[in-house]
Structure 1
Amino acid sequence: MTTTSLAQLNFAFQADTSLGGRLPPELECEIFTLAATSWHISKAGPLLLVAWRVHGWVEPLLYRSVIFFRVYEFLGGRILGPRNYTALPWIQSQHFDALVAQKPPGFFRTTVKRLLIRDDTLNRYVEDILRICSDVSNLTVYCQSSTGALEGALDVLAPGMLRRLAITLTHFFGAGTHLAMHPTLANVTHLRVEDIDDSLESLIPEVLRMPALHHLAIAPITEVLKQAHIVDAILTAFHRRPDDNPLQALVIFDFRKRGGVEADTILSTHVAFVIWTPTVSWESSVDWIEGAIGGWDFWDRADDFIRRRRAGEVDGNMLPPMNIDDLTSLL
């Protein structure tokens, strides 16, 4: 199916004269759904033009992963925006209401599963976006905000739907919030904490209590990973029994470049302790997009690195850098 052209599909339909040139609708739907989900997403767009019935089957599949933004970014000759990433829908936050009005009721709630809200999106749009896309399971929010400015915004999401989350926790939750008890976070397995300052001292023990969490990423700029109670909490999470949901990976983002992570020796030599140094400031968005279209994101690369490390195939704790030019998402 991945190599079948639209012309071949059309020929197959027209050749079936016993059905008046049409296959049964159920079979047509299955064929076009398989095509839309098997091909690279950038090749699935033309399926929308085959017929209105096909448009109705395929369009929801193309909105499974969505990026919200406000302005384009120039990246040394490339534009990180729709011109390069035509594989995914890019929606300007300030125009979302108009797009919602063009779709059936509940369209974005039921279709959007992976959502990236980029850091140029204004805070006032975030909660409305989340309310409309409330069944999202993979959410990343990069917003320039202040402590508590988005408090309560995650409450509009359907409880228990989130599986992967990347946010600045102090933007969304007030001091003293018991994250392990929050219904929106009940099934989160992968969490990237964007908080970088002293707030991590209280946040790390709290997130480690989240019931479903087994992958954690942080970007500390302090010596929090040398503090005894933090080290003990992380090591305890690593060493839980298999039926107690042990921590399987701790990914440290080193934005201060290689060698900038201060960590306890026992912790930093643990097989599941991995350091990733993004080579450019916008690499996190590229990484998310790569994962959204079926490639490997940093979680996948970390899991593979840990597996090879356990097998003795690699040394150290430094995750190899992403090769931007080899990514399938750059079209």
Structure 2
Amino acid sequence: MASLPPELEKSIFELTAYSEPKVNKYLYRVLMLRGRETYNHEVWQDYPCDVFTRLKSIPPSVLRDSIRHLYLELMPIDMCRYLLSTCTAVEDLWINQADSSLLDLVAALPLRRLHCHPVQLFSTQEQLDFGHPLFSNLTHLELFVVLPEFNPSSWIGLTTIPHLTHLSFSDAVSLPLAPSLLQDCKLLRVLVFIFDPDWMEPEDASVVSSIAPQDLRFVQMECSAFGKDWRSGALGRGDYWDRADAFIAKRMSKEIDPALYVLEGDQSVLIVD
């Protein structure tokens, strides 16, 4: 049976989705945008994220009712503002934008998962406000690499996030926070240290080895291809959080040696090509 050209099939589907409420809410569940000046856009061409003009051609109601997972990396601020103010049902946000004007827009979202560096949003190296509404409903929080001026006392408020069950960070300078986080975050089930073996210092490994055997919730893993891993999770195909959950469950049940705390290589990443 003859088939239509893919471009025509896509156009027909989109027109149908826009005109049929039962369909259009499933049209765009995941939206991923990465700056073209830094990344090879070809990798992401299967996402509904070509250019700003195309995004603005989509009825705002479709974006509002559809988008649940949003990824913004090195995008123009006007595009970020438009999407954050339009995609108001987003529950999972990955954002790497150093602009405090986005804070109120991010805080207004019904977020369950947030991947960010709070300093970029709050624009301060002073005490970070983890009591801010931005964090009130979060269960999963990934903190990006901290700045050289890292002050541990600025981050102690992490223990007050009320619904936090999963926390990860990717800078060894954050490691001294781990014991207090594991002790004081009452609901915390997973604490992941994502590391780059090329940057791992002997003293860092020593700190990790002093923490991990005492608390089975602590996992050290190597993770690359963060964008693909986030995409995999957004599409319901598993991400590093799922890998960590399964790994911890096996430690607790003694299916594997509880003393093991390192997920080797890129086992933490489910690549979806």
Mark yes or no: TM-score above 0.5.
Answer: yes
What stretches of structure 1 of length at least 5 have no aligned partner?
A: 1-43, 144-148, 241-245
Counterpart of 2:247 in structure 1 is: 305
Identity of aligned residues (%): 23
Which residue identity lines up with residue 184 of structure 1 in the other structure?
Answer: L
* Deviation sequence 1:183-230 (CA, Å, 0-9, x none): 1221011000013244261354122211111111001243x424xxx3
Corresponding residue number in structure 2 for 1:268? 212
Q: 1:235 aligns with which of 179, 182, 185?
A: 182
**Counterpart amino acid of 1:304?**
A
Question: Shift in Å at residue 265 of structure 1?
Answer: 4.2
Instruction: State whether residues 92 and 112 of structure 2, in contact with CA within 8 Å, keep that contact through their aligned partners in structure 1.
Output: yes
1:168 matched to 2:117? The reply is yes
Question: Matches of 2:11 and 2:88 in 1, distance apart?
Answer: 28
CA distance in 2, matches of 1:116, 1:122: 13
Indicate the SS of the match to 2:80.
helix
**Which of 116, 136, 150 is the matching residue for 2:90?**
136
Task: Please state whether the residue corresponding to 2:75 is helix, strand or coil.
Answer: coil
Quick one: structure 1 residues 53 and 205, their matched pair in 2 at CA, closer, same or farther if it must change by over 3 Å? closer
Aligned residue in 1 for 2:6: none
Q: Which runs of 5+ in 2 are unaligned?
A: 1-8
Q: 2:80 aligns with which of 126, 131, 151?
A: 126
Partner of 2:34: 69
1:102 aligns with 2:57: yes
State the TM-score, normalizing by the size of structure 1: 0.67
Instruction: Look up the equivalent residue of 2:221 and give its one-letter code.
Output: W
Q: Which has the larger radius of gyration?
A: 1
- Asked whether the 8 Å contact 2:140–2:167 carries over to 1, the reply is yes
The CA distance in 2 between the partners of 1:181 and 1:194, in whole Å, is 19
1:1-331 correspondence to structure 2 within 5 Å: 48=13, 56-71=21-36, 73-74=39-40, 79-82=42-45, 86=46, 88-89=47-48, 91-92=49-50, 95-96=51-52, 98-118=53-73, 120-143=74-97, 149-157=98-106, 159=108, 161-173=110-122, 174-176=124-126, 179-197=129-147, 198-199=149-150, 201-222=152-173, 224-226=174-176, 230-237=177-184, 240=186, 246-257=187-198, 260=201, 261-262=204-205, 263=207, 265-269=209-213, 270-278=215-223, 280=224, 283-315=225-257, 316-322=260-266, 327=271, 329-330=272-273
The offset of 1:168, in angstroms, is 1.3
**Letter matched to residue 72 of structure 2:** I
SS in 2 for 1:180: coil
TM-score normalised by length of structure 2: 0.79
Q: CA deviation at 1:275?
A: 1.0
Secondary structure of 1:225's aligned partner: helix
Q: Secondary structure at the match of 1:275?
A: strand
Describe the shift of the 1:50–1:69 C-alpha distance in structure 2 as closer, same or farther (beyond 3 A): closer
Report the CA distance between 1:57 and its aligned residue.
Answer: 2.9
The root-mean-square deviation of aligned C-alpha atoms, in Å, is 3.2
Q: Which amino acid aligns with 1:277?
A: E
Tell me the SS of whatever aligns to 1:166.
strand
Shift of 1:130: 1.3
Aligned counterparts of 2:21 and 2:91: Cα–Cα separation in 1: 23
Aligned residues: 257
CA distance in 1, matches of 2:118, 2:25: 30
Change in 2 beyond 3 A, CA 1:159/1:131: closer
- Secondary structure in structure 1 of the residue aligned to 2:32: strand
Q: In structure 1, the residue corresponding to 2:263 is in which secondary structure? A: coil
SS of aligned partner of 1:313: coil
